[in-house]
Amino acid sequence: MSTRISAHISEETKAQVEAFVKKSGITEARLIEEALQHHLQAVREIPSDLRLVVTQASMKRVAARTASD
């Protein structure tokens, strides 16, 4: 059994969804279902009092590491 939901999203997000769906071959419904499940899992697992501060310098290091992997 499934339920239909509706949401307003930006044109940019819609374009990204359409491009991903076209590239991957999965349906929009499946993409949205998986995205919601991942988000809800993260919300359950990350402590509500956790605070992460990212400086511009540390973000540059993260980006450099990610690009090199």
- Cα 2 from chain centroid? 22
* Residue 42 main-chain phi, psi, to 5 deg: -60, -40
Domain residue extents for the chain = 11-68
User: Which residues neighbour 7 within 8 Å (Cβ) at sequence distance 6 or greater?
Assistant: none
Banded pLDDT at 68 (limits 50, 70, 90): confident
User: How does pLDDT run across 21-65, given as a tens digit for each residue?
Assistant: 999 999 999 999 999 999 999 999 988 898 888 899 999 998 999
**Coil, strand or helix: which one is 62?**
helix
Cα–Cα separations (whole angstroms), residue 47 to 35, 43, 50, 51, 54: 20, 8, 5, 9, 17
